[in-house]
Amino acid sequence: MKLLAGNSNPMLAQAVADHLDLPLTRAQVKRFPDNEVWVTIDENVRGEDVFVLQSTSFPANDNLMELLICIDALKRASARRITAVLPYFGYARQDRKTGGRTPISAKLVSNLITRAGADRVLTMDLHSGQIQGFFDIPTDNLLAAPLLAEDIKRNYEKPSELLIVSPDVGGVVRALALASRLNADLAIVDKRRSGPGKSEVANIIGDVTGRRLIMFDDIVDSAGTLCSAAQSLIDAGAVEVSAYVTHGVLSGSAVQRVNDSVLKELVVTDSIDTSARAVNGKIRVVSCAPLMGEAIRRIANEESVSKLFD
């Protein structure tokens, strides 16, 4: 098999390659003077099983076009099978019509990846489960809960005494999966959303008084909602609040907002390259390379991927 990397997350791509003991495929992913994407594969891929690793994170449109053009180049170079590996699937939050005359962009992006020539998709912690059904090709959605549960066990004494908190009703299933791995209790923040990226805490379901809390979510963008939820939990009597989030989008002044908040720490994976966002202070990064690498190895060897989460 071969592993090809775009420009979205070179550090994760190299870490996955190291895990697989496999060199990255030689390729040039550059720009024309007018910023059009130009891709050249510099080695033979005819008849090969090729994995293209590219998160469609900021700049989302540029990284998405890189992915599509890489897939097209591989298809025209007669690769036997092409797997699009998206540690972070952008546009996932637009997964349904939220009002009149609005798009379902997640479905559009899944169509683009399929029509470009991908034979299957590997991603991690999709924003909602139905996105997996948007693809007309086999799609594996990896779970970050086991990876983050192991980090919690290494860094927190008596993890079973922690209280896992879902920051909204929609994330209950995700938070429950983490709580069950730690044998911990669960609480829920009833969050009312007034617009895209805007919400307020209406209620807290569960007793948080005197407890150490860990909020668990899939995406942290501006971190405004996360930090306000942490403040509400502290006001309700929690001793300390940490957050574990799979995808650290961290747009705008999110890093500063987290560092100024009551959060003890924010832990994210490297599904999105955070090197350009000056991640520091309370924010810590856990690598998902072993998980992604093992999933790639299993797909290449026609082995079960779901066994990773048994």
* pLDDT for residue 191: 72
Residue 202 has pLDDT above 90, yes or no: no
112 and 23 within one domain: yes
168 and 113 within one domain: no
Lowest-confidence region among 5-19, 68-82, 131-145, 187-201: 187-201
pLDDT grade, residue 9 (50/70/90)?
very high
pLDDT grade, residue 43 (50/70/90)?
very high
179 and 123 within one domain: no
pLDDT grade, residue 310 (50/70/90)?
confident
Greatest CA separation found in the chain?
Answer: 61
What DSSP string describes 259-292? HTSS-S-EEEETTS--GGGT--TTEEEE--HHHH
Residue 192 has pLDDT above 80, yes or no: no
203 and 255 within one domain: yes
Strands 266-269 and 283-286, how do they pair?
A: parallel
**Sheet containing 163-166: order of strands:** 198-205, 185-195, 163-166, 212-220, 240-248, 266-269, 283-286
251 and 196 within one domain: yes
Mean pLDDT of 111-124: 97
15 and 110 within one domain: yes
* pLDDT for residue 99: 86
pLDDT grade, residue 297 (50/70/90)?
very high
**Residue 299, CB-side half-sphere exposure with 13 Å CA sphere:** 28
Q: Across the chain, what does the average pLDDT equal?
A: 93
191 and 57 within one domain: no
303 and 258 within one domain: no
Residue 277 has pLDDT above 70, yes or no: no
Contact 286, 147 (CB under 8 A): yes
Catalytic residue among 191, 198, 264, 307: 191
162 and 133 within one domain: no
Mean pLDDT of 242-261: 94
Q: What percent of the chain has pLDDT over 70?
A: 95
Query: Can you give the residue range of the structural domain that contains 129?
Result: 2-142+290-309
Residue 197 has pLDDT above 60, yes or no: no
Q: Is 198 a catalytic residue?
A: no
Contact 172, 166 (CB under 8 A): yes
Mean pLDDT of 242-255: 94
131 and 182 within one domain: no
**How many distinct structural domains can be found in the chain?**
2
214 and 180 within one domain: yes
* pLDDT for residue 201: 65
212 and 251 within one domain: yes
CATH number of residue 280's parent domain: 3.40.50.2020
